[in-house]
């Protein structure tokens, strides 16, 4: 196929020569590489379709630190959230940002006006976003406001009032393990 990409533009009598067929193979490969590079460049223009290389370039322009092991989709989320961010002049704008970054219901935000304290409590499944939220919001909030990001690890507070039968029926999971399978982990 790559040879045909070049040979289709040659007259028929020239395309019969072995030299031009070999040249067609070489040029066809070059044209394929250029086509792929053009397609990647077009994809990298937008965050939602960008390749890892394009996302890394955008992250560098924004001053984001990226680890080698960071997943491409997580990097895409980070770049997109920083790209769409605006200064949160109100508590409600901050909640709107957290809704898009963490998902609605995956955090609790509390502003204590008297103590000048802003506390964000993340659900345990969002723990990998804790450092990103901390570093991002420290640049945005006023200096006289105490800011902390915590993890909600109080599972007993959520399920302590339920019986074992209710937990089993509801399909409650402890991390990745369904409650029905927890009997294997109980010490005798």
Q: Give the range of the structural domain holding residue 28, as residue numbers without chain letter.
A: 2-43
Structural domain contains residue 116: no
Residues 184 and 164: their CA atoms lie apart, in Å, by 15
pTM for the whole structure: 0.47
How many percent of the chain have pLDDT more than 70?
A: 82
Q: Is the predicted pLDDT of residue 179 greater than 80, yes or no?
A: no
User: What is residue 155's predicted lDDT score, i.e. its pLDDT?
Assistant: 64
| Lowest mean pLDDT, pick from 76-80, 91-95, 150-154 | 150-154
Residue 24 within any structural domain of the chain: yes
Are residues 40 and 55 in contact, defined by beta-carbon separation less than 8 angstroms?
Answer: no
Q: Is the pLDDT of residue 4 over 80?
A: no
Count Cβ neighbours within 10 Å for each residue of 125-141 and write b for 16 or more, e otherwise. ebeebeebbeebbeeee
Residue 179, domain member (yes or no): no
Give the containing element (helix H, strand E) for 147: strand 146-152
Answer whether residue 123 is part of any domain.
Answer: no
Distance CA 112, CA 110 (A): 6
The number of folded domains in the chain is: 1
Q: Which residues contact 31 (CB under 8 A, 6 or more apart)?
A: 2, 5, 6
Token pair for 180: 């029905």
Whether 143 maps to a domain, the answer reads: no
The pLDDT of residue 132: 86
Does the residue 21 lie in any domain?
yes
Q: Is residue 22 situated within a structural domain?
A: yes
Whether 16 is in a domain gets the answer: yes
Angstrom distances, CA of residue 82 to CA of 140, 150, 165: 12, 21, 44
Task: With cut-offs at 50, 70 and 90, classify the pLDDT of residue 188.
Answer: very low
The predicted pLDDT at position 174 comes to 58
């Amino acid at each position: 196929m790559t040879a045909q990409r070049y040979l289709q533009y040659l007259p028929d009598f020239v395309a019969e020569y072995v030299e031009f067929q070999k040249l067609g193979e070489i040029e066809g490969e070059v044209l394929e590489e250029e086509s792929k590079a053009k397609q990647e460049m077009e994809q990298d223009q937008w965050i939602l379709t960008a390749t890892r290389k394009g996302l890394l370039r955008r992250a560098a322009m924004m001053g984001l630190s990226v680890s080698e092991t960071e997943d491409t989709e997580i990097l895409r989320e980070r770049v997109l959230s920083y790209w769409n961010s605006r200064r949160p002049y109100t508590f409600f704008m901050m909640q709107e940002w957290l809704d898009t970054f963490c998902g609605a219901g995956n955090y609790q935000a509390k502003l204590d006006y008297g103590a000048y304290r802003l506390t964000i409590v993340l659900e345990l499944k969002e723990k990998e976003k804790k450092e990103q939220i901390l570093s991002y919001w420290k640049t945005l909030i006023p200096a006289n406001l105490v800011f902390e990001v915590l993890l909600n690890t109080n599972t007993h507070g959520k399920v302590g009032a339920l019986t074992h039968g209710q937990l089993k029926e509801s399909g409650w999971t402890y991390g990745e393990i369904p409650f029905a399978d927890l009997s294997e982990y109980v010490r005798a």
